[in-house]
Chain A
């Protein structure tokens, strides 16, 4: 479904990604793990075209997309949940969710998706008319995920959904990610530092180090891999 070939991305003169290739198949949950500064978030930013790659090509359903604008990428069905819960603090929860459905015009399906995210996160329904900025960290992350789901994505890109959340909440969020994948068949590409949990819900994983992909395998094998265990799982 999504294929990156030799992607190189720069911030000014600093090269953040030094030529990576990876693939995400339809219906999968794929996670990209790695230390701080490995280039994980930049990879997502490159796919979303917010920081477009300088070299290489990105294919979505065999169509090259690396020259498209961010809004065209969203239109194709690739939606990102940005790192650090970039929600709209001044807008209400409902308005935040409406913003997710900005590019859609199918009112009925939007209503259905709204019911679906309220079912996933009932707390958001209670906080419907509250400003996004007044939510707690965990609720904001739920809102960010829900907002992305409102765009009815074919491929959901998630950047560190566990960032700054309590362990119990992280567990809950990951369960819901898995649920979204199985229930609505949304393909998920997940970037995480919390390698242990991410690999547990993922089908396959990539390990990234200083701008390069150093290892790829099924999630179960990565969990068993000695190097990965030492470097990222802390055992």
Chain B
């Protein structure tokens, strides 16, 4: 009976879609011959497509529900079952098929060769592929830094920030303008760009200290636009919409680098900065300030009751997030050698946001994967470039429904009990070492 009901619902939905898309899908006015073409075959296609799509959608949703309820049943029957380990992730199920567990990946004899292979590929990459590929990879790495920066604000502090591209712009323009007017080099501009961006972060954070959620999102959105409009309109200083041209590439002890060499060099700088970012952000997560941020993001009142200075935590989060955006901006200016306000639109802020959400909030591997996928896939799928936004939207919707935690969700740290504690009670769980490696 259930199935019949669902089928009827899908049928109605398909009919509705046919009606809805009728004017654009079926009717076409041929302006040359002044006739109307009726393309009925498209209506049929639409009907079948939406029928199958809707049915599949419902089937998958039902399956997810069933899995969830099975887990809760299991979780409550075994008190010792740790919530995180009850939930078998997709990766775990794939690994299980190979006869592995998550721990196998952490074992030294698997982890070290895997890391070594990855490292070798990453190092060899610019030498074996074309400059075009290296350039794409540099963009992707820059976005990895950006996404990791936003992750500090969004993933840890749980604050919706829709103007992140503004900090990116501040970093880029710091280098661009300093280079243009004073001939400042890349390596000096790098910390300056980060600092300028951090200061902007603090300046933005001061007025939004009391805001949360939607209101914060609106203010940050406006901030992003203000910065972009300033860059457009302060044409005396920033050269307006035409942008800053011929910015120098990163220098290497005054050596003269060919174009190819310069790109390869930039690639390695990006790579080093990505590793540096990952290292710092990972340290931050487990630090006192990181935990204050997480606490504040989870529950503002409880955090304050526990003695978290939420004002300072917010300022720190905005400043620390902005630092990485500033660094990414300097890298971007050095890579493209030309910047204009068009590179820092709302769309870029949204794209960075999507990387964090799609990859997995607060999860470093997730954010990296999100950034790489969202930059690399469109580059390699240029054939479908007309449908890029359509696919993008569909993927986001599907992800949010079926994997709300992102591709690689944050794994909550599970504590291992010390042996002397184990003697106390027999029923305590040993939460298998799935925390991040120290």
Interface string of B394-438 (1 = CB under 8 A from A): 000000000000000000111101000000110111010000000
Mark the stretch among B62-70, B213-221, B297-305 that contacts chain A. Answer: B297-305
Asked if B413 contacts A74 (CB within 8 A), the reply is: no
Interface pair B299/A88, CB less than 8 Å apart: yes
When chains A and B are docked, how far (Å) is the Cα of A90 from the Cα of B298?
7
Task: Report which of B303, B415, B428 forms a contact with A92, defined as CB distance below 8 A.
Answer: B415
A130 lies within 8 A of chain B by Cβ = yes
Given A70-B304, A70-B305, A129-B82, answer yes or no on A91-B294 (Cβ-Cβ < 8 Å).
yes
Closest partner residue, chain A, to B291 (CB atom):
A99
Contact of A125 with B425 at beta-carbon distance under 8 Å, contacts A86-B299, A91-B295, A130-B82 already known: yes
Q: Is the CB of B414 within 8 A of A92?
A: yes
Is A214 an interface position by the 8 A CB rule?
no
Assembly CA distance A90 to B413 (angstroms):
11
Whether A88 lies near B298 (C-beta < 8 A) is yes
CA distance A88 to B415 in the complex (A): 17
Contact with B along A125-140 (1 / 0, CB 8 A): 1111111001000000
Chain A residues with Cβ below 8 Å from B424 are 125
Complexed CA–CA distance, A88 and B413 (Å): 14
List the A side residues contacting B427 at CB < 8 Å: 126
B308 interface residue per 8 A CB criterion: yes
* A88-B298, A102-B307 known; A95-B413 Cβ under 8 A: yes
A151, CB-defined interface residue at 8 Å: yes
The answer for the CA separation of A125 and B298 in the assembled complex, in Å, is: 22
Q: Does A48 contact B (CB under 8 A)?
A: yes
B97 close to chain A: CB less than 8 A: no
Known: A92-B412, A102-B307. A126 touches B80 (CB 8 A): yes
Residues of B within 8 A of A181 (CB): none
Contact: A71 with B413, CB < 8 Å? no
Stretch at the interface among A18-26, A75-83, A224-232: A75-83
Set of chain B residues within 8 Å of A74, measured between Cβ atoms: 305-307
Q: Is there a chain B Cβ closer than 8 Å to A87's Cβ?
A: yes
Shortest beta-carbon distance from B257 to chain A in Å: 48
Assess whether B301 is in contact with A87, with CB atoms less than 8 Å apart. Answer: no
Contact across chains for A99 and B309 when beta carbons are under 8 A apart: no
- Name the CB-closest residue of A to B300: A86
How many Å lie between the Cα of A134 and that of B83 in the bound state? 8
Query: Contact: A50 with B304, CB < 8 Å?
Result: yes
CB of B288 within 8 Å of the partner chain: yes
Of the candidates A81, A87, A102, A148, which one forms a contact with B299 in the assembled complex, judged by CB atoms under 8 Å apart? A87
Is the Cβ of B305 less than 8 Å from the Cβ of A102? no
Across-interface contacts of B431 in A (CB, < 8 A)? 128-129
Chain B residue with the shortest CB-CB distance to A83: B301
A215 at interface, CB cutoff 8 A: no
The answer to whether A154 has its CB under 8 Å from any CB of chain B is no
Can you give 26 contacting A-B residue pairs, CB < 8 Å? A70-B304, A70-B309, A79-B305, A82-B305, A86-B302, A88-B294, A88-B295, A88-B298, A88-B299, A98-B291, A100-B306, A102-B292, A102-B306, A102-B308, A103-B307, A122-B425, A128-B417, A128-B431, A129-B84, A129-B414, A129-B415, A130-B82, A130-B83, A131-B412, A134-B75, A147-B306
If A50-B301, A70-B309, A88-B294 are given as contacts, then 13 extra A-B residue pairs at C-beta distance below 8 Å, sorted by A number, are A73-B307, A82-B305, A86-B299, A87-B299, A90-B298, A91-B298, A125-B428, A128-B417, A129-B84, A130-B82, A131-B84, A134-B83, A147-B306
